[in-house]
Chains A and B, each alone.
Chain A
Amino acid sequence: MTIRVKFFASLREQVGVSEREIGSDGINTVEDVWKEVTDGMTMPANVLIAINMEYVEGGSHVADGTEVAFFPPVTGG
């Protein structure tokens, strides 16, 4: 089973990934997802995280089949 992972804006450029699907085996939290995709890169302190397009806090549980997104502070308007 899989988890879809997305990165936006400057984080997408830093990580070098826009979107990727990963296996859900061994994945419990958003930190596990980050580690799986970023190859050891440190997660920025100001990162924003969403699961299924809803903001979540660090440490949140990631269920199978969900979409997890990482992005920098927002700058719209």
Chain B
Amino acid sequence: MHIEIRSENFSAWECLAAYEQEQAAQQHGKYGATAVFVGTMRDFNEGDDVTVMSLEHYPGMTEGYLKRICEEAESRWQIQDSLIIHRVGDVLPADAIVLVAVWSAHRADAFDASRYLMEELKSRAPFWKKERLVQGNERWVEKNTPDPGAEGLGKDI
């Protein structure tokens, strides 16, 4: 399990490759499925053009919450390993915001656990986005878009 908050832009795919390299010694041959989610910044939101987004978190609580949901995922599904990297600071369109990866023996557990992590992260992990619009004004993003497909998957812990 690895949780990381980054304040600089990162390549999700390079991080993933580097992490797989590191874990290879213990996990190599143990998993048959890797589910990966990468969230990137859009240059539009609610009909407006967005130029930059500032991400804030609650140092300490955010990391603790992410660790807790990874532990919860490990107890609910048969998974070998999990990884969450999340950006804070100023993010530009097309920059990665979040990387979630889950390794499991089988695809169902990898898909379900990664979906669970993303839904819990989006609904309860202490992060906040403020976006700057092309006109120069700023506004807080007030809520995340609900994902109807994920209904009933997450639960408060």
Please list the residues of chain A having a beta carbon within 8 angstroms of any beta carbon in chain B.
Answer: 6, 8-10, 48, 50, 53-55, 69, 71-77
Contact = CB atoms under 8 A, between A and B. Distances in A.
Contacts of A69: 58, 61
B123 to A, nearest CB: 7
A50 B53 CA distance: 25
B56 interface: yes
Select the residue from B56, B61, B64, B156 with max chain A CB neighbours within 10 A.
Answer: B61
B97 A9 contact: no
Interface stretch (B22-30, B71-79, B106-114, B138-146): B138-146
A10 B121 contact: no
Contacts of B39: 77
A50 B59 CA distance: 13
Main secondary structure of the interface of B (DSSP, over half): mixed
B123 A74 contact: yes
Interface string B48-65: 000000011110110010
Contacts of B130: 9
A72 B122 CA distance: 13
Contacts of A73: 142-143
A50 B57 CA distance: 13
Given A53-B61, A72-B128, A77 B98 contact: yes
A48 B143 CA distance: 13
Contact of A9 (B60, B98, B128, B144): B128
B26 to A, nearest CB: 28
B143 A76 contact: no
B36 interface: no
A72 B128 CA distance: 8
Nearest to A6: B58
B58 A76 contact: no
A53 B140 contact: no
